Amino acid sequence: MRRRVRETAFRLSRRDLAAFLVDHEEQLLAIFRDEMEKLDEEIHEENLFIDLHLVPLGDMILKAVLRAMNRFLLMEDPEAGVQGAPEGEHASP
């Protein structure tokens, strides 16, 4: 019973959640960049053998994650498999 209620609540709120992620993308990116900079400072490059700049890489990864979350949230039937949002309903970040 709890799962059914949770699934119903999710179906009702998924488009709002997708819109929320799009509306707050810059804030999420700023927080993520800050965390990536901290990580970049913590990693000793001599242990990696190459000098990685994690912030630009992290931005690309987070944007891909946000797009993936958006696609999932905007799917009519997530159980049906991987598919894009219906035409005209993309809320791309």
Contact of 18 with 74, CB cutoff 8 Å: yes
What ranges do the domains of the chain cover?
Answer: 2-80
Q: Residue 19 and residue 16: Cα distance in Å, rounded? A: 5
5-62 residue pLDDT tens: 988 998 889 889 889 888 888 888 888 888 777 777 776 665 565 666 777 878 888 8
56-82 residue pLDDT tens: 878 888 888 888 888 878 876 655 655
Q: Model-level pTM? A: 0.53
Residue 74, amino acid:
L
Show the tokens assigned to 69: 């979350």
